[in-house]
Structure 1
């Protein structure tokens, strides 16, 4: 019964909040203002309905006045509303282009100016990252899940290099974030809700200016090492520190990273 109620409440809350985003955008003439609806209304409702008891640390590392790239591991669909709530800045998600076609959620992401990436087509992926870089240079923060998919067992998966190419192109700080427990509350590809604690730890910003312009793997390793360490601190499974970068075109699988000689 609880799972059915979660589905119904999620659907109704999403529909109502989407309608509210349209109203907010019309009143403010600013689609970006609709992020407030997700942070203050939609996210808290879904967290409450899922029974997640969220504990967040490190919010002092979030600077709403500084364009930043936020990077997190990914365990559950619940991560999205949790990060809207726990990262107190009006960021934009960089999401798979497939989400664009999901009713209401995809419409909201498009309407609010979030960024879609088509990883299957290199030219479109590059164009999407260029669009993200333009937003960042304009002062907008973005949020990414560099694993490219949710982890099946809670371990931190290898990372895609695209987010770190974006960071090096934009030359803004990268803030590593670790989430632990959301995959237990709402497992991947399941509505089998099990209320429980979810921990979010926001790490210190990593300065990208100390990395060469083409050292995507070096930056990925630096960020991933922090996320793995934080996962272990939170009681999670961590991840293989040697499997840094995901093989091209494959999500969740990796190869041993080759650090640039520079």
Structure 2
């Protein structure tokens, strides 16, 4: 049986989610209509989407996100951002970076009212799981976006962790970085899985979510994509271990 606090927080967050979507989507649509002819990269719309995502953190009294390392991101440089993935909350939290990027997201998210529609307006990169052609198309579009100056955000594990432990990193993010000749920035997230566990939608009280943005890694400094993949996984794994040791 869920606690009364969990029930109240969940009702509050769901109500907030719907209310914000209803208010913010028409604004996003107007931004798209008026800026699409000259803002091909959707920079203004993405900035607005960052506010949209972040408002769920700002208006949740029991959630606090501590950021470290944003200064490692240069304004006019495209990157492949590689993050671990713990819960649905990761997406909302990473919007709080307030940096321009394109999500690599599964196609099922497009069916989510308002949120999916906004993703389409932003021209994010969509992939169908277990579809070889879709994976190839995703890689091609990601490389194109990177060459046009857009950063790309991808969850290297490919799916959410059930218990917060790190899964095996896939090489796709590192292959696209190598082909587009852009740096990779590792991002470590922790305690998001405590706020929204696994595939559940129940909201829990958490006050110590953490994000660390690491300095960029140049694919040219590594022998191959296997080596840089292992290095990024080592960096994120080490940071998770450090955070959890400090909590004991």
Correspondent of 1:27 among 1, 25, 34: 34
- Structure 1 residue runs of 4 or more that deviate by more than 3 Å after TM superposition: none
Distance 1:185 1:130 in 2: 35
Correspondent of 2:87 among 61, 76, 86: 76
Distance 2:183 2:83 in 1: 14
Aligned to 1:221: 230
Distance 2:58 2:204 in 1: 12
User: Is 1:7 aligned to residue 14 of structure 2?
Assistant: yes
Please list every run of 5 or more consecutive structure 1 residues that lacks an aligned counterpart in the other structure: 238-262
Aligned to 1:139: 149
Contact 2:162/2:199 (8 A) holds in 1: no
**Alignment map for 1:182-201 (pairs within 5 Å):** 182-190=192-200, 191-201=202-212
Please list every run of 5 or more consecutive structure 2 residues that lacks an aligned counterpart in the other structure: 1-7
Distance 1:119 1:210 in 2: 31
Which structure has more relative contact order (CA 8 Å, sep 6+)? It is: 2
User: Is 1:152 aligned to residue 162 of structure 2?
Assistant: yes
User: For 1:5-63, what per-residue CA distance to the aligned partner results, in whole angstroms no more than 9, with x for missing partners?
Assistant: 111111221232222111111222334421111212x1222113443211001111111
Distance 2:85 2:222 in 1: 25
Correspondent of 1:97 among 92, 101, 107: 107
Per-residue deviation, 1:139: 0.5
Distance 1:67 1:82 in 2: 20
Distance 2:44 2:98 in 1: 14
Per-residue deviation, 1:177: 0.4
Distance 2:125 2:114 in 1: 16
User: Is 1:204 aligned to residue 219 of structure 2?
Assistant: no
Larger fraction in helix: 2
